[in-house]
């Protein structure tokens, strides 16, 4: 793989703004993480004082943001040559790399310590594990090594339901493990849809994403395979009587919708795997996948309250 030479940037006279520090936390990614973690708490048997519950959710958010900040520090060379990320605070020169690293490490340590004090050691260890997995396993090891980076690294984003459940109960159970599995198998079709239409960026940066290494045709095939694995897993909580009909019906309808989007992604190619419609189906599938996970986990909560 060719060495990436990032442009030299100098911090501007105006320095950074609060929005730059917020951007380091990857707030859009954090939203999904916080939501799935909160659903884990809602579904867990037992009771947690509202103040402690809010603190636990805040720790999950800050921990996820800390991992994002460290990721931006480590990937600043890649970010600088990708159109999609070139305006991030570090490559744009608004925040110095060492400041971003210190910010991320401080938030990571603080979130784990507060989680342990507010809830229990199990939740704190799970939070620490999710941060460490995202930083060391995905960002520093897998991302630049293998096209399977998203498959294995997706485990980091699947931790929040387990953390939320553990914050209430101090342990785990079948339902949070299934929630972990749902996010884990959702991640490849979600992210590979993005990788299809951001393929030029990843090629320029030398990141071995699946479309870069194996091509669009194989990527589309893998998206179909993982979605076909995902849908039955989403139905497992209902099949095992861990949830009711509200969730079961929602999972079935949303799963069918996801399969329709994925089918369009697969068909958006010629015999050689060349994209026909400028990856419009991939963009639509990526957007739908976000809605899919929100609706699916929201249905878990609604089903709990209705039940």
Contact between 67 and 104 (Cβ < 8 Å): yes
Confidence band for 272, pLDDT divided at 50, 70 and 90: low
Phi, psi of 213 (to 5 degrees): -85, -45
Task: Tell me how far apart the alpha carbons of residues 168 and 244 are, in angstroms, rounded to a whole number.
Answer: 22
- The correct answer on CATH 1.10.3470 for the domain covering 174-307 is no
Task: Tell me how far apart the alpha carbons of residues 89 and 78 are, in angstroms, rounded to a whole number.
Answer: 13
Contacts of 270 (CB under 8 A, 6+ apart): 276
Class at the top of the CATH hierarchy for domain 16-172? mainly alpha
Confidence band for 193, pLDDT divided at 50, 70 and 90: very high
pLDDT of residue 274: 63
Task: Tell me how far apart the alpha carbons of residues 40 and 34 are, in angstroms, rounded to a whole number.
Answer: 10
pLDDT digits (tens, 9 = 90+) for 128-171: 999 999 999 999 999 999 999 999 888 999 999 999 999 999 99
pLDDT of residue 117: 97
Confidence band for 16, pLDDT divided at 50, 70 and 90: confident
Confidence band for 9, pLDDT divided at 50, 70 and 90: very low
For 24-59, give the secondary structure using H, E and C.
HCCHHHHHHHHHHHHHHHHHCCCCCCHHHHHHHHHH
CB atoms < 10 A from the CB of 22, how many?
A: 13
Arithmetic mean of pLDDT, 176-202: 95
pLDDT of residue 278: 74
Average pLDDT score over the chain = 92
Sketch the domain layout of the chain as residue ranges: 16-172, 174-307
CB atoms < 10 A from the CB of 57, how many?
A: 20
Sign of CA dihedral 196, 34, 100, 119: negative
Out of 51-60, 110-119, 265-274, which region has the weakest mean confidence (pLDDT)?
A: 265-274
Question: In CATH terms, are 16-172 and 174-307 the same topology?
Answer: no
């Amino acid at each position: 793989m060719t060495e990436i030479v990032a442009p030299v940037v100098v911090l501007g006279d105006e320095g950074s703004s609060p929005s730059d520090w917020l951007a380091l936390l990857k707030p859009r990614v954090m939203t999904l993480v916080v939501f799935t973690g909160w659903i884990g708490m809602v579904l867990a048997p037992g009771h947690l004082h509202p103040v402690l519950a809010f603190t636990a959710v805040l720790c999950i958010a800050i921990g996820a943001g800390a991992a994002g900040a460290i990721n931006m520090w480590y990937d600043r060379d890649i970010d600088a040559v990708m159109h999609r990320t070139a305006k991030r605070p570090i490559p744009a020169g608004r925040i110095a790399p060492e400041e971003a690293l210190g910010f991320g490490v401080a938030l990571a340590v603080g979130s784990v310590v507060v989680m342990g004090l507010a809830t229990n050691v199990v939740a704190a260890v799970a939070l620490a594990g999710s941060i460490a997995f995202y930083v060391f396993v995905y960002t520093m090891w897998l991302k630049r090594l293998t096209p399977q980076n998203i498959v294995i690294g997706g485990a980091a984003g699947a931790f929040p339901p387990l953390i939320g459940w553990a914050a209430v109960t101090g342990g785990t159970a079948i339902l949070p493990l299934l929630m972990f599995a749902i996010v884990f198998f959702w991640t490849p079709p979600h992210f590979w849809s993005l990788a299809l239409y951001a393929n030029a960026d990843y090629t320029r940066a030398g990141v071995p994403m699946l479309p870069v290494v194996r091509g669009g045709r194989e990527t589309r095939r893998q998206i179909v395979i993982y979605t076909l694995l995902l849908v039955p897993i989403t139905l497992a909580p209902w099949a095992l009587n861990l949830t009711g009909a509200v969730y079961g019906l929602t999972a079935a309808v949303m799963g069918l919708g996801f399969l329709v989007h994925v089918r369009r992604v697969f068909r958006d190619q010629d015999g050689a795997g060349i994209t026909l419609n400028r990856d419009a189906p991939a963009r639509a599938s990526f957007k739908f996948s976000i809605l899919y996970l929100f609706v699916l986990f929201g249905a878990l909560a609604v089903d709990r309250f209705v039940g």
